[in-house]
């Protein structure tokens, strides 16, 4: 078969059409629904409200609270995942004793289901029966309201996110570190560059492209957090730990408010897109410098 | 050849005899039928369904597959299946409050099941009120639910405690008649240094929290002078949840949260039971499971010391019509039928409807349900007259004194003159979600009780308008047992 043989269209287009139908149709359906007032329970006939759902959402303090909570979880946890992950990856790359064991052990959290991790965390943070508070009270400290106070609950969720997803960062950065050329470091050592100078002058800039990719992936994934919050706090106390996805779940699958939930999903999509585009725009000059 | 023929004849005869034997054991014969039931995650209710399933299998040779979902997932799973008209579930077990949302998709109970000895044995509060929707029966109660009061008899009967309590509060230590007394008792027994706390209630969002709050508020808002006005004005459908009666209920609920173990704000009903059975608290309110679990020596440290009573009440109840407090000559208990007990129904789309209703008959029979009611962890509480009348049955788990108090509290609550029915409305979760959120804020001290309930009332009125005020009013009146408004 020649490269320009028209028969290729017979093989390509059905697959393309199937993919388009599967990915585009739900989006169009969801977009259409977002312009309707449409409740499944109690059943109310759909009625066109155009941008009504979007306007209601933008005026809804709970929506803004969910945005803020999700952003806090995403940015704080990803920043710490990156800092800790980079440090551990550097240590593993330096061939510390028992490096292989560490490498496997550190990957374990990432392999666990988030629901299971959240359940274990809920037990650990249990104010009376949990081992953490029992440990703290050994030193005469008061029981801490880990999951019943808004700020503490948010901190606990962030801690669990860091524990579970830092291994992913370690794995990716370690792979990157192992591809860095040795001769650059040898040259730096001939110039008597300190370890700190080598890190800021060589390692960090050369790792920037992979770092950008890792942080981008984790940031987007963190914005989608749902299971951990659902199990650990259910979004409470009040709505202090309610994330965007949990808010959408409550509206969609508890109240069956489909129009409103579709609008919420699209606003979520817009928010993620803005964050992603801004992030890449900010990084572009630095990345281009490295080319 | 003759030998072979004889062998064939013998085999055929054996098969026929064997077959007729199987047939005789299956009555009615549902061999090959497998019923799928949606349930909340066990042991509560799911284990009761399995108990009924075993009996039904023995009787009919049919099989029952109990599919379990976490409490928070159950409503969406059932609702999705029903609205899609699929036949995923042959039976669904659910909260009575969800009935208005589900009723359009459920089949009516066969008329022959709505008569007879077993039918009359179901307590009137369930048979005539909770199982009825617009004059028709679409579901069967498989559990009775009313909040009652549980306390530690060893503490209440201790002469030293009695004297100390009287010296401090000026009246005798006994099961409380009012919520003020309930809080006094909780305060008196609040001794964290000795591992003893005052009370345990559910305060966790998504942990059955709002029913406990409703139990407090029922005493001040379920006014016999203006029937059915606890949640909404039955004339206008205006939300009543921010009236002074509700605010008082919330203030006391918040106070109770401070008289519990340090993690009380994270308590769902399961943790309440654990705290009571662990002897951590002096008193508690909740469903009948608390008493059964606390009496079980395998699960409890206070077995043999469990006391029960009707919920506290009030001699002042807010009148939503006159917008004033009505004074009563004596304290009037308002036992709250929180949740109202699990119900089970057959979806219209189900492919085995006859078998499904037959399963319900077995499951809710006095014998099977009676066994479930005395088995700790099934989540089944008395809902038949025979459940509370058969003292012998209960002596298996309670001491005679415990049994008498427990059954007395259950029967007096369900048959109470001023029993308060739970809210049942289309869009139930939309109404209760905002309650949970605002309760969380009020419990955490982020807002005042009045402000929290004002927010709830505003949202309830908005939801009522969105769903259609006339339609919601008609549903509310039906749920409260009031005649349709002309």
- Say if A165 falls within a structural domain: yes
Range of the domain at A121: 43-290
Contact B261 A145 (CB under 8 A): no
Judging by DSSP bridges, how do beta strands B139-141 and B148-152 pair with one another? unpaired
Per residue in B405-448, pLDDT tens? 999 999 999 999 999 999 999 999 899 999 999 999 999 998 99
What strands, in cross-sheet order, belong to the sheet with B306-310?
A: B197-200, B281-286, B148-152, B306-310
Per residue in B216-275, pLDDT tens? 999 999 999 999 999 999 999 999 999 999 999 999 999 999 999 988 888 889 889 999
CA distance A187 to chain B (A): 59
Pick B440's closest partner by Cβ from A40, A236, A256: A236
Contact B427 A255 (CB under 8 A): yes
Contact A40 B261 (CB under 8 A): no
Asked whether A142 and A85 are in contact (CB, 8 A), the reply is no
DSSP for A58-106 reads HT-HHHHHHHHHHHHHHHHHHHHHHHHHHHHHHHHHTT-TTHHHHHHHH
Assigned token pair, B476: 């509310």
Residues from chain B contacting residue A147 (CB–CB below 8 Å):
266
Contact A237 B83 (CB under 8 A): no
DSSP for A140-206 reads TPPPP-TTTSHHHHHHHHHHHHHHHHHHHHHHHHHHHHTTS-HHHHHHHHHTT--HHHHIIIIIHHH
CA distance B451 to chain A (A): 14
Asked if pLDDT for residue B2 goes beyond 60, the answer is no
- Say if A167 falls within a structural domain: yes
Burial of A188 (0-12, 13-18, 19+ CB in 10 A): middle
Cα B257 to Cα A6: distance, rounded to the nearest angstrom: 75
Assigned token pair, A229: 């919050």
pLDDT bracket for residue B67 (50, 70, 90) = very high
CA distance B206 to chain A (A): 7
Cα B20 to Cα B31: distance, rounded to the nearest angstrom: 13
Nearest to B419 by CA among B337, B363, B345, B314: B337
- Say if A14 falls within a structural domain: no
Residues from chain A contacting residue B438 (CB–CB below 8 Å):
238
B113 touches chain A (CB under 8 A): no
Nearest to B280 by CA among B265, B258, B262, B253: B262
CA distance A189 to chain B (A): 57
Q: Label each residue of A224-270 as H, E or C.
A: CCCHHHHHHCCCCCCCCCCCHHHHHHHHHHHCCEHHHHHHHHHHHHH
We report the CATH number of the domain holding residue A63 as: 1.10.3720.10
Cα B422 to Cα B435: distance, rounded to the nearest angstrom: 14
Pick B83's closest partner by Cβ from A40, A238, A255: A40
Pick A254's closest partner by Cβ from B75, B467, B468: B75
pLDDT for the residue numbered A141 = 84
Give the residue from chain A lying closest to B435, CA to CA: A238
Residues from chain A contacting residue B205 (CB–CB below 8 Å):
233-238
A238 touches chain B (CB under 8 A): yes
B69 touches chain A (CB under 8 A): no
DSSP category for residue A42: T
Place of tokens 């219209």: B348
Residues from chain A contacting residue B426 (CB–CB below 8 Å):
41-42
Give the number of beta-carbon pairs within 8 Å between A and B. Answer: 88
Assigned token pair, A148: 């019943």
A234 touches chain B (CB under 8 A): yes
Contact A149 B427 (CB under 8 A): no
- Does pTM surpass 0.95? no
Burial of A17 (0-12, 13-18, 19+ CB in 10 A): exposed
Cα B482 to Cα A140: distance, rounded to the nearest angstrom: 58
ipTM: 0.77
CA distance B321 to chain A (A): 28
Phi-psi region of A238 (alpha: psi -120 to 50; beta: other; left: phi over 0): left
Per residue in A105-141, pLDDT tens? 888 999 999 999 999 999 899 876 789 988 888 888 8
Count the domains in chain A.
Answer: 1
Judging by DSSP bridges, how do beta strands B420-421 and B336-337 pair with one another? parallel
Cα A159 to Cα B259: distance, rounded to the nearest angstrom: 30
Asked whether A67 and A247 are in contact (CB, 8 A), the reply is no
B196 touches chain A (CB under 8 A): no
A236 touches chain B (CB under 8 A): yes
CA distance B273 to chain A (A): 15
Contact A128 B262 (CB under 8 A): yes
Assigned token pair, A44: 């109310």
Contact B265 A148 (CB under 8 A): yes
- ∠ CA B107-B109-B111 to the nearest 5 degrees? 135
B426 touches chain A (CB under 8 A): yes
Please tell me whether residue B425 adopts helix, strand or coil conformation. coil
Cα B37 to Cα A240: distance, rounded to the nearest angstrom: 36
B258 touches chain A (CB under 8 A): no
Other Cβ atoms less than 10 A from the Cβ of B135: the count is 6
Nearest to B418 by CA among B358, B331, B289, B346: B331
Nearest to B390 by CA among B379, B374, B409, B376: B374
- Say if A9 falls within a structural domain: no
CA A134 to chain centroid: 31
B459 touches chain A (CB under 8 A): no
- Say if A123 falls within a structural domain: yes
Q: Which value, to the nearest 10 degrees, does the dihedral of the CA atoms of residues B453, B454, B457, B458 take?
A: -140
Contact A147 B266 (CB under 8 A): yes
pLDDT for the residue numbered B303 = 95
Per residue in A193-251, pLDDT tens? 999 999 999 999 999 999 999 999 999 999 999 999 999 988 988 899 999 999 999 99
Asked whether B447 and B254 are in contact (CB, 8 A), the reply is no
pLDDT for the residue numbered B148 = 97
- Say if A126 falls within a structural domain: yes
Give the residue from chain A lying closest to B472, CA to CA: A42
Cα B300 to Cα B76: distance, rounded to the nearest angstrom: 34
Pick B437's closest partner by Cβ from A127, A145, A239: A239
Asked whether B244 and B314 are in contact (CB, 8 A), the reply is no
Asked if pLDDT for residue A19 goes beyond 90, the answer is no
- Say if A109 falls within a structural domain: yes
Contact A40 B433 (CB under 8 A): no
- Say if A118 falls within a structural domain: yes
Please tell me whether residue B354 adopts helix, strand or coil conformation. helix
Asked if pLDDT for residue B22 goes beyond 50, the answer is no
Assigned token pair, B428: 């139930």
Average pLDDT over residues A62-80: 97
């Amino acid at each position: 078969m020649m490269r320009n043989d028209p028969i290729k269209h017979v093989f390509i287009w059905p697959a393309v059409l199937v993919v388009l139908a599967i990915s585009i149709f739900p989006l169009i359906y969801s977009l259409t629904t977002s312009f309707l007032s449409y409740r499944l329970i109690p059943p109310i006939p759909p009625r066109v409200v155009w941008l009504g759902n979007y306007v209601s959402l933008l005026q809804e303090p709970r929506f803004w609270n969910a945005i803020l909570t999700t952003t806090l979880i995403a940015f704080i946890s990803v920043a710490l995942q990156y800092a800790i992950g980079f440090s551990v990856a550097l240590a593993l790359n330096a061939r510390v004793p028992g490096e292989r064991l560490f490498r496997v052990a550190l990957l374990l959290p990432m392999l666990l289901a988030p629901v299971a991790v959240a359940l274990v965390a809920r037990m650990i943070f249990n104010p009376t029966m949990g081992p953490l508070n029992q440990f703290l009270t050994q030193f005469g400290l008061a029981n801490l309201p880990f999951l019943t106070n808004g700020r503490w609950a948010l901190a606990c969720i962030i801690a669990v996110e860091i524990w579970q997803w830092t291994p992913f960062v370690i794995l990716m950065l370690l792979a990157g570190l192992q591809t860095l050329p040795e001769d650059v470091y040898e040259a730096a050592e001939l110039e008597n560059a300190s370890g700190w100078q080598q890190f800021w002058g060589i390692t960090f800039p050369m790792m920037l492209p992979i770092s950008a990719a890792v942080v981008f992936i984790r940031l987007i994934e963190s914005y989608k957090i749902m299971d951990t919050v659902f199990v650990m706090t259910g979004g409470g106390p009040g709505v202090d730990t309610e994330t965007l996805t949990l808010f959408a779940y409550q509206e969609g699958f508890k109240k069956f408010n489909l129009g409103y939930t579709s609008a919420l999903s699209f606003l979520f999509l817009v928010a993620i897109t803005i964050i992603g585009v801004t992030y890449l725009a900010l990084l572009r000059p630095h990345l281009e410098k490295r080319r | 050849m003759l030998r072979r023929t004889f062998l064939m004849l013998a085999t055929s005869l054996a098969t026929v005899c064997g077959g007729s034997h199987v047939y005789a054991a299956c009555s009615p014969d549902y061999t090959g039928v497998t019923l799928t039931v949606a349930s909340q995650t066990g042991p509560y209710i799911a284990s009761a369904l399995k108990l009924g399933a075993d009996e039904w299998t023995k009787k009919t040779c049919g099989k029952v597959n109990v599919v379990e979902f976490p409490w928070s997932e159950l409503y969406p799973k059932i609702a999705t299946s029903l609205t899609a008209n699929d036949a995923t579930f042959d039976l669904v077990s659910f909260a009575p409050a969800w009935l208005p949302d589900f009723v359009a998709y459920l089949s009516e109970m066969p008329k022959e099941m709505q008569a007879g000895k077993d039918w009359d044995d179901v307590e009137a509060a369930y048979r005539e009120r909770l199982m009825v929707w617009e004059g028709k029966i679409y579901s069967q109660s498989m559990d009775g639910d009313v909040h009652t009061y549980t306390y530690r008899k060893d503490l209440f009967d201790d002469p030293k405690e009695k004297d100390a309590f009287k010296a401090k509060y000026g009246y005798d230590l006994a099961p409380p008649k009012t919520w003020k007394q309930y809080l006094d008792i909780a305060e008196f027994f609040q001794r964290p240094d000795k591992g003893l706390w005052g009370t345990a209630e559910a305060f966790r969002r998504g942990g059955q929290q709002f029913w406990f709050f409703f139990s407090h508020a029922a005493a001040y808002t379920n006014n016999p002078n203006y029937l059915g006005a606890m949640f909404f004005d039955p004339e206008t459908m205006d939300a009543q949840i921010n009236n002074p009666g509700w605010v008082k209920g919330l203030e006391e609920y918040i106070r109770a949260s401070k008289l519990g173990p340090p993690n009380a704000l994270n308590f769902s009903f399961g943790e309440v039971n654990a705290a009571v059975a662990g002897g951590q608290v002096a008193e508690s309110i909740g469903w009948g499971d608390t008493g059964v679990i606390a009496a079980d020596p395998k699960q409890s440290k206070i077995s043999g010391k469990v006391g029960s009573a009707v919920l506290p009440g009030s001699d002042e109840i807010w009148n939503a019509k006159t917008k004033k407090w009505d004074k009563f000559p004596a304290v009037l208990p308002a036992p709250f039928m929180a949740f109202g007990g699990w119900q089970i129904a057959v979806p219209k789309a189900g492919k085995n409807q006859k078998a499904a209703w037959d399963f319900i008959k077995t499951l809710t029979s006095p014998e099977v349900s009676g066994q479930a009611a005395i088995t700790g962890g099934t989540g089944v509480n008395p809902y038949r007259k025979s459940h509370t009348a058969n003292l012998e049955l209960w002596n298996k788990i309670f001491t005679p004194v415990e049994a008498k108090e427990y059954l007395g509290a259950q029967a007096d609550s369900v048959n109470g003159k001023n029993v308060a029915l739970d809210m049942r409305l289309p869009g139930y979760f939309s109404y209760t979600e905002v309650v949970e959120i605002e309760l969380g804020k009020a419990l955490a001290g982020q807002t005042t009780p009045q402000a929290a309930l004002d927010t709830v009332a505003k949202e309830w009125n908005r939801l009522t308008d969105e769903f259609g005020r006339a339609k919601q009013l008609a549903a509310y009146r039906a749920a409260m047992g009031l005649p349709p408004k002309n």
